[in-house]
Amino acid sequence: MEKKEKKAAVEKKDKKAAESKSSGITPKDMTICKATEQMLEKAKRDGVETAFDRAASMKACPIGADSACCKHCSMGPCRLNAKDPYSKVGVCGATIDTIQARNFARMVASGASAHTDHGMSMLDVFREVVHGKIKDYKIKDTVKLEQVARSVGIETEGRSVEDIAMDLYHELERTYTQVEGEIPFVSRVPEKTLETWRKLGIVPRGAMREIMEIMHRTHIGVDQHYENIVKQCSRTALSDGWGGSMVATEISDILFGTPTPVQADVNMGCLKEDYVNVIVHGHEPNMFESMLASVNDPALIEAAKEAGAKGINLVGMCCSGAEVLSRHGVPHAGNFMSTEAILVTGAVDAMAVDVQCIKQGLSSVAKCYNSYLFTTNPRCHIEGAEHIELVEDKPRECTDEVVVKAIARYKNRTAQVEIPNISNPGIHGFSHEYIQYMLGGSFRASYKPLNDNIINGRIRGIAGVVGCCNPRVKHDWVHVELVKELIKNDVLVLQTGCSQISLAKAGLLTPEAAHLAGDGLKEVCETVGCPPVLGLGSCVDNSRILIATSEVVKEGGLGESIADLPAAGAAPEWMSEKAISIGHYFVASGVYTIFGATFPITDNTKFKDLLFSGLEDQGLGTWDFAADPYEMAKKMLAHIDKRRKALGLDKSRERVLFDMAARREMAA
Ligand code: NFS
């Protein structure tokens, strides 16, 4: 981002904040989500405050936004001058580059910890399922179990499911605990990409070791060379993407099923006034799976009916919502910036949360509407919320109690109920396995048709558009505008997390949305019958995108490493440290990655140069920034075209019409 552009963006934000304090900003300015807007209007009438209001009235700290302060020791906190970054150093002598690199590294460490701790929890559940201690879940997808086992070199021929599973558990545990060597899933990385990592010394050992080392190195007086700190950022982020996150996805698929396309509704219209409404919001699918069992329990359904309800209605939010949407077609009520707004409906009888992206503000909004907010995970308690702990081998005790209390709340509902009458159907549940099948057919499941279509230019490139929503920008707007621009330009878009929900609400996860795509992409979508925007699930499911890119490289014809692909990634409205870890593992994997909203960096520094161009020179990907979605699309397309040119594909984008033979080949 140019200094001027960033300054203008900050000034605009500040102006917006000042205006809204004097009520300059209306809900219409805050979001393009009509349901959220309607609830923000109601919240205003009810005198209820949400994160949108707080963001509007709280000016972002400009020094923090530029990452120009250091508070890692009590000789400070030290503030440097972002306008003249080399005019000062911290008390210990730390330069702006060291300070920014340390701050960035700690964001990577925190984000990577969140994903790897989640992945490790899934692995704990898996181990106890295999041991027979946890009986509520079982290995549902044995085909995937064998595939994953083989991918890390475990023999599967003629062996029992339990034996394979136990071997897989031990192998994958190394992802976290190994002190020397390489994490198991490097076996999936294209050879040339892995070669680059080895050359740079950034192949992760185990996530615990990498995260511990990054925390050590960013302590006062340890690593004071930004280049060396960034190296450890890469190693740690890779232990998330190809480690913790990938294990979370693969184990969840093995336990709860690999998603296949399913039609489901998204948006607040999923709530039903005359049903007991239970929302699950969080990140770990096991609580959600048990809640699904609870709401289908005949005794609890009967209890709900006795309380005067027609039944129990379960809906998801955020990432575990996105997983259960993908696996079971459970409706999804909205993304991160709608979690307070949905409580304003008054129709939520209970919201059960586990970990990550749970706003503390939910507690006071829930109170205003007499809705229950339950925390369920020992890692996440919230003052003012009731805690009902989910014990992994007795999960129903927790989820049944949540439902029982929700029924009681339904019976005594006092809040006025207003449910936005909006729900958006779409197709969810794509996985890298399904993309292979969808394009190649069951006899020849392969990425070849995708590669061929990229080579012949019908598909210009692939983009991953992922990540959070952030009240500092117009909710959902940046996601939607960016994706529309990309598909219009024949870029196939893969999505996860809150971004996928933004686009689902905008109706782009339907095959009919193909009419918004450029001619080439439209032809492919119409032939295969798929949407131009494919939803792959939650944020840990970004690992599905990594595997897909790896498969595309291995299929051939598009270069030898992930860095060679005409592909780009974006998190247009990011806000969490997890997003920084994800962004950095995509960059370290070779992907051009652009963020919107803001970027924690000072312009005109060596650290910025390294992130925004130096890493690419080392054979990795690159970071970039643009607040405006059209500018972002332009930059992504420019990168895709640069890669096409390097591959000699810049001439192949003349229009190729499908003849019958080509259609038959694709549909086979
Ligand atoms: Ni991802 Fe999911 Fe959403 Fe952002 Fe939060 S819910 S893990 S971090 S806000 S996409």
Instruction: For residue range 196-207, list pLDDT tens digits in order.
Output: 999 999 999 999
Burial-class residue 121 by CB neighbours within 10 Å (0-12, 13-18, 19+).
buried
Calculate mean pLDDT across residues 315-328: 95
Domain boundary among 256, 275, 307: 256
Number of structural domains in the chain: 3
pLDDT for 12 equals 54
Instruction: Say how many Å lie between the CA of residue 539 and the centre of ligand 1.
Output: 6
Is 144 found in the same domain as 289?
no
- Asked if residue 241 has its Cβ within 6 Å of ligand 1, the reply is no
Is 585 found in the same domain as 471?
yes
Hey, CA dihedral for 88, 92, 98, 102, is it positive or negative?
Answer: negative
pLDDT(401) > 50? yes
pLDDT(51) > 70? yes
Does residue 529 lie in a domain region?
yes
pLDDT(666) > 80? no
Contacts (Cβ under 8 Å, ≥6 apart) of 184: 152, 171, 172, 174, 175
Q: Which two tokens stand for residue 12?
A: 């605009």
Long-range contacts of 142-146 (CB under 8 A, 24+ apart): 144/250, 144/253, 144/254, 144/258, 144/433, 145/254
Is 507 found in the same domain as 372?
no
Cα separation of 100 and 581, whole Å? 15
Cα separation of 587 and 622, whole Å? 5
The ligand 1 atom at the shortest distance from the C-alpha of residue 579 is 8
Determine the Cα angle at 357 with ends 356 and 359, to 5°.
120
pLDDT(17) > 50? no
pLDDT for 16 equals 46
Nearest Cα residue to 174 out of 148, 146, 149, 207: 207
Is 108 found in the same domain as 250?
yes
Domain with residue 643: its CATH number is 3.40.50.2030
Does residue 160 lie in a domain region?
yes
Band of pLDDT at residue 650, cut at 50, 70 and 90: confident
Is 488 found in the same domain as 384?
no
- Asked if residue 119 has its Cβ within 6 Å of ligand 1, the reply is no
Determine the Cα angle at 478 with ends 104 and 516, to 5°.
135
Q: What is the DSSP string of 352-381?
A: EE-SSS--THHHHHHHHTT-EEEE-BTTB-
Is 278 found in the same domain as 222?
no
Whole-angstrom CA distances from 454 to 105, 247, 257 are: 35, 29, 30
Domain boundary among 411, 434, 461: 411
- Asked if residue 458 has its Cβ within 6 Å of ligand 1, the reply is no
Domain of residue 178, residue span: 96-256
Which residue CA neighbors atom 5 of ligand 1 most closely?
Answer: 357
- Name the strand (E) or helix (H) holding 143: helix 142-151
Which residue CA neighbors atom 7 of ligand 1 most closely?
Answer: 539
Residues 504 and 424: beta-carbon distance below 8 Å: yes
Calculate mean pLDDT across residues 55-69: 95
DSSP code for 31: B
Domain with residue 171: its CATH number is 1.20.1270.30
pLDDT(92) > 60? yes
Band of pLDDT at residue 446, cut at 50, 70 and 90: confident
What are 227-249's pLDDT values in tens digits?
999 999 999 999 999 999 999 99
For residues 5 and 576, which has the higher predicted lDDT (pLDDT)?
Answer: 576
- Asked if residue 497 has its Cβ within 6 Å of ligand 1, the reply is yes
For residues 449 and 107, which has the higher predicted lDDT (pLDDT)?
Answer: 107
- Asked if residue 475 has its Cβ within 6 Å of ligand 1, the reply is no
Does residue 278 lie in a domain region?
yes
pLDDT(5) > 90? no
Contacts (Cβ under 8 Å, ≥6 apart) of 426: 263, 264, 265, 266, 504, 507, 508, 509, 510, 531, 535
pLDDT for 8 equals 56
pLDDT for 437 equals 81
β-pairing verdict for 262-266 and 424-428: antiparallel
Is 555 found in the same domain as 407?
no
Does residue 498 lie in a domain region?
yes
pLDDT for 201 equals 98
Is 457 found in the same domain as 354?
no
Does residue 63 lie in a domain region?
no
Calculate mean pLDDT across residues 220-225: 98
Cα separation of 470 and 468, whole Å? 7
Does residue 325 lie in a domain region?
yes
For residues 440 and 503, which has the higher predicted lDDT (pLDDT)?
Answer: 503
Alpha-carbon dihedral 254, 257, 259, 262, rounded to 10 degrees: 180
pTM: 0.94
Domain boundary among 349, 378, 411: 411
Q: What is the mean pLDDT of the chain?
A: 94
Band of pLDDT at residue 444, cut at 50, 70 and 90: low
pLDDT for 436 equals 81
Calculate mean pLDDT across residues 583-595: 98
Band of pLDDT at residue 56, cut at 50, 70 and 90: very high
